[in-house]
Amino acid sequence: MLTEFEIQAISLSLKVAFSAVSFSLPLAIFTAWLLARGNFYAKPLLDAIVHLPLVLPPVVIGYLLLIGFSQQGIIGAWMIKYLSVDISFSWQGAALASAIVAFPLMVRAIKLSIEAVDNKLEQAASTLGANPFRVFFTITLPLIVPGILSGVILAFARSLGEFGATITFVSNIPELTRTIPLAMYSFIQTPGAEQQALRLCLIAIGIALIALIGSYSLEQKMRRTIAHQH
């Protein structure tokens, strides 16, 4: 039987992961399109910046967020002054940290999907008078839905497991920022709480497996649907 503490950690983790994915998806699609179809001088630099969270220690990302978005940070102080919004030491801050860490996975999956789309289809639509926005929304976007779905699930699973950036940026506060990984960390540090840590471990594995298997099944179904339509 799950305790109230464990239920809070699970529900908070799901809320943070869903928010992180929802927040970053539009930007991820736009960034992936730029990297796949764009031809500009700073493209290698943009690609490097996008993938930087994959190679940086999560603690570094959390520290940079702390510098930028804390109450004394450049962005954080501005947000508090002009928007009356403070995301430091809150679940919104945890969602931002998770979104940044998971962003490269989403971009990479969508980028590969865009690169797999035949350029001739887009060129034909442009020749018939469609502007770039219409080409994207009527030709490219429907064909890359499986890639978007894969990216979303990967980012969701990564967000569920985020620890280093989260604890550095928003600390480990019960009911506010204590997600499943942080709750497990607290249980591991508490003598006699091994069973609670194991339960959360198994739940995290179960959620991730369900998400990945469901993503694979939906992706295969959508690919077959798209293939039949074309």
DSSP type of residue 47: H
Helix axes 4-37, 194-229, angle to 10 degrees: 40
Residue-level pLDDT at 164 = 94
Please indicate whether residue 212 or residue 10 has the higher confidence score (pLDDT): 10
What is the number of H-type helices and E-type strands within the chain? 12, 0
pLDDT at 59: 95
pLDDT computed for residue 227 by the predictor: 64
pLDDT at site 118: 80
CA dist 106 and 17 (Å) reads: 13
- Given a cut of 90, is residue 66 above it in pLDDT? yes
Q: What single-letter amino acid sits at 122?
A: E
Q: Does domain 4-229 have CATH number 3.40.630.10?
A: no
Distance CA 212, CA 228 (A): 24
Q: Give the model's pLDDT for residue 31.
A: 95
> Are 179 and 9 contacting, i.e. CB atoms less than 8 angstroms apart?
yes
Amino acid 23: pLDDT: 92
How confident is the model over 157-177, as pLDDT tens digits?
999 999 999 999 999 998 889
Is it the case that residue 229 has pLDDT exceeding 60?
Answer: no
Half-sphere exposure of 79 (CA within 13 A, CB side): 14
67-118 tens-digit pLDDT: 999 888 889 999 998 989 899 889 999 999 999 999 999 999 999 889 888 8
pLDDT above 70 for 230: no
**142 has a pLDDT exceeding 70:** yes
Residue 201 has pLDDT above 80, yes or no: yes
CA 105 – CA 91 distance, rounded (Å)? 22
| Residues 221 and 149 sit within 8 Å (Cβ to Cβ) | no
What's the pLDDT band for 128 if we cut at 50, 70, 90? Answer: confident
In the predicted structure, residue 225 carries a pLDDT above the cut 80: no
Residues 6+ apart with CB under 8 A from 73: 66, 67, 88
pTM score: 0.89
Say if CB 157 and CB 131 are below 8 A apart.
Answer: no
Tabulate helix, strand, coil % of the chain (nearest 5): 80, 0, 20
